[in-house]
Amino acid sequence: MNTKELLQQIGLSDKEAQIFITTHELGLGTAYEIAKRSKIKRTTTYAVLDQLEQKKFVSSVVKKDKKIYIPLQPQALIDRATEKISEAKQQETYLHQLVPLLEALANRSPHKPNIIYYQDRDGVRDLHNEMLRNITDKNMYYLTAVENIEQVVGKTFFTNWIQRRINQGIKSTGIRNKTKEVANTAYTNKSDYLRDYRFAPSWVNLPLGLYICGNKVAIMSSQKESFGILIESQEFAVLMKSLFDALWKLCDPV
């Protein structure tokens, strides 16, 4: 991956990554200088620099009535990541203690559907993780545009998630958008990845992703809206699987 792609993997948007790279190329600069070099509109550059400042990827000082932006140094990125890893490990310890307490409070009825809403990249990643949790049915069915899912959760997360699915012995059967494929063996190989898939007819539009596994149904948007919904309902899962089976018969084998 190139510099821009790596920055996107750690949470920056396309324009945030471009502006951050440009700021490093300049060493420091005004919004005008950064906009000119990056070839991004000045109004957009101002907004993106504000976002980067909030995320602490850049800082600013005022000199002679001009606001100068200074990028976070490379080693500082590593230091920040190390701090976050340490904090995450501590949080994980607390969460392992907290989860059984919260589950006991929930006291869910087996006949009452459970619906959870997820927001943004981290939320949709959590939704993917939930689809692999407490699985008794070793068959997962999905309808999606692979490119959309990769953009939402990130390439590294998605390939790791696929490997976890394989490690759990879960076979995936999918209907995919042929125009939104991604050239990656982790997405296209069949036999080694416990996978079978077909391409949807051209008249079928797949702006959202859909996963079905056991009594769980997950709905995921594209990067544009970046949300997900998990529905745990036996009846709803049966309905979605029936619709999947009907569409599967209309698809040509790959």
Mean per-residue pLDDT, 124-128: 92
Cβ-in-10-Å burial (0-12, 13-18, 19+) of 35 comes to buried
Query: Are residues 138 and 192 located together in one domain of the fold?
Result: yes
Mean per-residue pLDDT, 23-47: 91
Euclidean distance between CA atoms 19 and 117, whole angstroms = 32
CATH classification at residue 156: 3.30.870.10
Provide the residue count of the chain: 254
DSSP state of 201: P
Query: Are residues 120 and 192 located together in one domain of the fold?
Result: yes
Domain range for 154 is 113-253
Task: Look at residue 84 and tell me if it is in a domain.
Answer: no
124 has a pLDDT exceeding 70:
yes
Confidence class of residue 103 from pLDDT cuts 50, 70 and 90? low
Last residue of a domain, one of 18, 50, 73: 73
Amino acid at 4: K
The mean predicted confidence, pLDDT, of the chain is 88
Euclidean distance between CA atoms 15 and 19, whole angstroms = 6
Query: Are residues 69 and 150 located together in one domain of the fold?
Result: no
pTM of the predicted model as reported, rounded to 2 decimal places: 0.60
Residue reference for tokens 């990249």: 121
Query: Are residues 121 and 69 located together in one domain of the fold?
Result: no
Query: Are residues 128 and 59 located together in one domain of the fold?
Result: no
CATH classification at residue 28: 1.10.10.10
Tens-digit pLDDT profile for residues 174-214: 999 988 888 888 888 887 889 999 999 989 888 889 999 99
Task: Look at residue 50 and tell me if it is in a domain.
Answer: yes
